[in-house]
Amino acid sequence: MNNITILLNGVPLYFKDQLDSLASQSCKEFFIIARDDGSTDASYGIVQNFMQHTSLHVKVLEERTNCGAVRKFGGQKIL
């Protein structure tokens, strides 16, 4: 199973479309990891609503502070 990492901070205008696009894929053998590093916009609510209405595997990883681009995508494990 593949992982798809999505950042929540600052993308509410596009985030719902991105999730809907993933949900419409014919191959659903993936896991969505949504990284929230203290977003103050509607992105977190959008992913929570999506999780209630989908059979896709979704995990939200929360950090209350901005952790930087490399760490958001798991770069701390390879650096």
- What's the pLDDT at 12? 75
**Dist. CA 55–CA 16, nearest whole Å:** 16
pLDDT at 6 over 50: yes
Give residue-wise pLDDT tens across range 11-49: 677 888 999 999 999 999 999 998 887 777 888 888 889
- What's the pLDDT at 31? 92
What is the number of structural domains in the chain?
1
Among residues 57, 73, 62, the alpha carbon closest in space to that of 2 is found at: 57
**Dist. CA 25–CA 5, nearest whole Å:** 16
pLDDT at 77 over 70: no
- What's the pLDDT at 66? 58
Q: Name the residue range of residue 41's domain.
A: 2-77
- Mean per-residue pLDDT over the chain, rounded: 79
Order of strands, sheet of 57-62, starting from the edge strand that comes earlier in the sequence: 2-7, 30-36, 57-62
